[in-house]
Amino acid sequence: MLAFRTYLKLIGAVVMRPGLWMTALRSAKRLVPRQWWRNGSHLPVPSRAYVNFRMTTQYGYGVDQPEIADIIDYLEWSKDWHSTGTSMRRRLFKA
């Protein structure tokens, strides 16, 4: 699971980039499990299994905290991807 310190660093990094605020909120909303309060969780955070899977696919085994720069890069990529529009993506990936 991500350390509280990691969340604080991430929030600080996003706060310094107002252009990523909405992208970060949308991404956070997608990561929060539906009806998270029913699992006994006190905070709306992604499931431990999901975080472990993403950490392993990104960094391999043995790394338990992400690089904040990697998350910021992902948010910038996500913002750019969603700003291209659906029709542009269809043209780019048409077989």
pLDDT digits (tens, 9 = 90+) for 20-67: 999 999 988 888 888 888 877 777 888 888 888 988 988 888 888 888
The pLDDT of residue 22: 93
pLDDT of 74 over the 80 cut: yes
The pLDDT of residue 34: 84
Question: How many C-beta atoms surround the C-beta of residue 76 within 10 A?
Answer: 14
pTM of the full structure: 0.72
Amino acid identity of 29?
A: K
pLDDT of 93 over the 70 cut: no
The pLDDT of residue 92: 64
Domain spans of the chain, in order of start: 1-34+65-95
Question: What CA–CA distance (Å, rounded) separates 78 from 51?
Answer: 18
